[in-house]
Amino acid sequence: MSTTDTVVITVTGKLDNGEIFYTIPSNKPMSIKLGNSDLPPTLEAILSTMKPGESRKVRVPPEEGYGARQKSLLQTIDNQEIVDRLQPKPGMIISLKAEKDGEMQTIPATVMEVDGSEITIDYNHPLAGHPEITDFFSFCKNKSVHSSFFME
């Protein structure tokens, strides 16, 4: 394969504990053109050099996946802003409105802690900073390649 080939892939993305967080099943594969930054750069580079039938394990940094966790995306807000609509609990994902580029947008946030009149929320993607294992099977120009990628 070259860095400009189009590949058709099926994917199963898992967390370190084996929990599946993403799937592209074999009955609905996805077509990706290499070189378009559709995959993390490390995965794309490895996939472009693989031979049919070859398996590999590749470590990919979080910055190429869902990013590193950013402490600046943790925020403490007044519980009264939320409690009128729902009873927040740690782990709950809530939608909050925020202004961005002059427009109001809905942004998901994870409730981290509820402490009396305050709630600590996290705007990081839920998979940010988590090690991931991605298994995928790809087809390119009627040639098949199987690989396991380990992302952390």
Beta bridge partners of 111: 121
Give the per-residue pLDDT at 90. Answer: 94
Which CATH number is 71-122 given?
2.40.10.330
Confidence of residue 55 (pLDDT cuts 50, 70, 90): low
Q: Name 31's Cβ contacts closer than 8 Å, sequence gap at least 6.
A: 6, 7, 8
Is pTM beyond 0.85? Reply is no
Query: Tens digits of per-residue pLDDT, 72-110?
Result: 999 998 877 676 778 889 999 988 887 778 898 988 999
> For domain 6-67+128-151, which CATH number applies: 3.10.50.40, 3.40.190.10, 3.30.530.20, 3.10.270.10?
3.10.50.40
Confidence of residue 150 (pLDDT cuts 50, 70, 90): very low
Give the per-residue pLDDT at 98. Answer: 78
Maximum C-alpha span of the chain:
60
Q: How many CB atoms lie within 10 A of CB 138?
A: 22
Question: Taking a C-beta distance cutoff of 8 angstroms, is the pair 98, 105 a contact?
Answer: yes
| Ranges of each domain in the chain | 6-67+128-151, 71-122
